[in-house]
Amino acid sequence: MNSIRLKSPAKLNLYLKVINKRKDGYHNLVTVFERINLCDDIKMTANTTGAIRIRSNNSELPTGPKNLIYRVAKLLQKEFSVFLGVDVAITKRIPIAAGLGGGSSNAATALLGLNKIWNLHLNIRQLAALGERIGSDVPFFLYDYNWALGVERGNKIQKLPSQRKLWHILVVPRIKVYSGEVFGALKLPAGPFLAPATSPKSPLKGISGAPTNILTKARDDVNILTRALRKDDLLRIGSLLSNDLETTIVRLHPNLSKIKNKLKILKAVGVVFSGSGPAVFGLAESSRQAHALKAILSKKYAQVFAVCTL
């Protein structure tokens, strides 16, 4: 196999709790990921020149060293002495720097695709370890999970036991908000950090140095949300949507609050920002409602999507 075509899906964060700042400059967090059916298409073809050539239908997407697919290919070439190159064609549908994980998803897709066309024979754990070096969200996209819990930097992944498919109305304003900007402006409460009181089997046990009360709340909230997902309790799910970055996002970009208010007026079941924004989404009761809301909102906003869980 010297060529492969793959889907590269976006994600939403139904829950995001920032625990504390880490010594490495990143932040410990707890998040609930949902993989959605808004996808880029990526075609990769091996070449014998060693060159990494990327083209896209989106002129705003970098195609050189700043592109995460480029960085993945360079990393694999260096780590495994790969003499082959790759030609990459990206059909971009996921908005850039929107909080939807498009770049991380592309990086994960590149890891999966290059592993095959370059015959590297790496297992999923090896790929995830490489993915962490590219971006915190990359490991989530490597696993074939529609629902997952992410802890530490969001890079430690545990599958959530839910088959629930949710419909959403998603609005992405035409501004870019980068995670470094948001996390850099995040104001965490001062005070000593205490050791977490978690059980040995808890997926949150890896978050060392976290305040016990914050960690306990995150664990409890995630458990309640997981039960609501299993029970298909849409109203309960909507009431539990939460993002600790939201206040900072709105402080940096005040006009984004208007989108959230508009979705609430239109009776979306719970409204929240995804990741570090600026994408705003609300739950819909059905595909029909999601598409009806899309028709209304498309009159005002250029990037509106009716999306569902993959």
Rounded Cα gap, residues 158 and 48, in angstroms: 38
Choose the weakest-confidence range: 38-47, 76-85, 196-205: 196-205
Choose the weakest-confidence range: 79-88, 160-169, 195-204, 249-258: 195-204
pLDDT tens-digit series, residues 78-96: 999 999 999 999 999 999 9
CB 246 within 8 A of CB 272: yes
Residue 214 confidence (pLDDT) above 90 = no
Please tell me which residue in 137, 156, 262, 294 is annotated as part of the active site: 137
Rounded Cα gap, residues 215 and 51, in angstroms: 46
Per-residue pLDDT at 195: 36
- The percent of residues in the chain predicted with pLDDT above 90, rounded, is 79
Phi, psi of 53 (to 5 degrees): -120, 125
Instruction: Please name the residue that has the structure tokens 């959605």.
Output: 36
CATH architecture, domain defined by 3-159: 2-Layer Sandwich (3.30)
Closest CA relative to residue 284, chosen from 145, 172, 165: 165
CATH homologous superfamily of 167-308 equals GHMP kinase, C-terminal domain (3.30.70.890)
**Reported confidence tier of residue 210, pLDDT bands at 50, 70, 90:** low
Residue 292 confidence (pLDDT) above 60 = yes
pLDDT tens-digit series, residues 93-138: 999 999 999 999 999 999 999 999 999 999 999 999 999 999 999 9
Residue 199 confidence (pLDDT) above 80 = no
Closest CA relative to residue 71, chosen from 59, 62, 58: 62
Residue 77 confidence (pLDDT) above 80 = yes
What average pLDDT does the segment 174-201 reach?
A: 65
For residues 173-209, one letter each, b for 16 or more C-beta atoms within 10 angstroms of the residue's C-beta and e for the rest, the string is: beeebebebbbeeeeeeeeebeebebeeeebbeebee
Per-residue pLDDT at 217: 83
Closest CA relative to residue 266, chosen from 256, 258, 274: 258
Per-residue pLDDT at 249: 95
Question: HSE (CB half, 13 Å, CA atoms) of 38?
Answer: 27
Whether residue 92 lies in the annotated active site: no
pLDDT tens-digit series, residues 12-33: 999 999 988 888 888 999 999 9
Q: Which residue has the higher pLDDT, 35 or 186?
A: 35
What average pLDDT does the segment 253-279 reach?
A: 95
CB 283 within 8 A of CB 304: no
* AA letter at 79: E
Residue 189 confidence (pLDDT) above 60 = no
Whether residue 137 lies in the annotated active site: yes
The CATH 3.30.70.890 portion of the chain extends over 167-308
> What stretches of the chain adopt beta strand conformation (E)?
3-21, 27-47, 52-56, 85-91, 147-151, 156-159, 167-171, 242-243, 269-273, 280-284, 304-308
The CATH 3.30.230.10 portion of the chain extends over 3-159
Closest CA relative to residue 30, chosen from 222, 159, 193: 222
| E strand or H helix that includes residue 109 | helix 102-117
pTM > 0.85: yes or no:
yes
Mean predicted lDDT score pLDDT of the chain: 91
What average pLDDT does the segment 189-203 reach?
A: 43
Q: Which residue has the higher pLDDT, 205 or 243?
A: 243
**Reported confidence tier of residue 198, pLDDT bands at 50, 70, 90:** very low
